[in-house]
Amino acid sequence: MSETYRIRLDKEHHVFAAAHFITFAGDICERLHGHNYRVAVEIAGPLDENSYVIDFIAARDELHAITDQLDHRMLLPDSHPLIKVVPDEKEVRVTFTPDGRRWIFPLGDCLILPVPNTTAELLARWIGEQLRTRLAARLGWQIDWLQVAVDENHGQIGICELTSK
Ligand SMILES: Nc1nc2c(c(=O)[nH]1)N=C([C@H](O)[C@H](O)COP(=O)(O)OP(=O)(O)OP(=O)(O)O)CN2
């Protein structure tokens, strides 16, 4: 018989309130709106000398640092084919090219993410990549498997699983 281990972080304070809009069905663009997002994480791996997969405290603190970056921000995609996002030193100008709709946000209110659309799935991927990087720097070893779930609306959850090759 084999055994595998993982930890799950699913705490009420792993939340962030942010604004966004996405496109769907090709060129339909949502109106600007916000969510109180909630994030849960699972990490798998062998047990260490403490019989931990990973210290809850390390994972919790790094996840909190990531959700802090997202909290009270306008989330924008950097590579959407139809949403042009142009930052300068003070502002971010955003244009939805099919109908010319435009928004201007203060630079400090925005987080421009390396995603083509700010869906819950792609926010989960970004959070997972950030968490993997931060934990590797903190612990000195790489996580082989982790899963991030981003709930944007009380049970509407995008999930990304990251596995080392
Ligand atoms: N698979 C996905 N589907 C959808 C996503 C997503 O990220 N992944 N996102 C959306 C929209 O962002 C939309 O805002 C969510 O829909 P909705 O439930 O209508 O959002 P509200 O917060 O306005 O909730 P109400 O229940 O309508 O008040 C769509 N699909």
In which residue are the tokens 């139809």 written? 82
Q: What is the pLDDT of residues 87-100, one digit of tens each?
A: 999 999 999 999 99
Check if 87 has its Cβ closer than 6 Å to any atom of ligand 1.
no
- Pocket probe for ligand 1: among 156, 159, 160, the residue whose CB has the most ligand atoms within 8 Å is 156
What ipTM describes this predicted complex? Answer: 0.91
pLDDT digits (tens, 9 = 90+) for 13-59: 999 999 999 999 999 999 999 999 999 999 999 999 999 999 999 99
Placement of tokens 């949502």 in the chain: 30
Buried/exposed 9-21: b ≥16 CB within 10 Å, e otherwise: beeeebebebbbb
Question: Residue 159's closest CA among 113, 109, 121, 119?
Answer: 121
What residues contact 109, with CB distance under 8 A and at least 6 apart? 72, 73, 74
Ligand 1 centroid to 162 CA: how many Å? 24
- With a 6 Å cutoff on the Cβ, whether 35 touches ligand 1 is yes
Domains of the chain: residue spans and CATH: 6-27+35-74+117-163 (3.30.479.10)
Q: In 3-state terms, what secondary structure has residue 144?
A: coil
- Ligand 1 centre from 54 Cα, in Å? 33
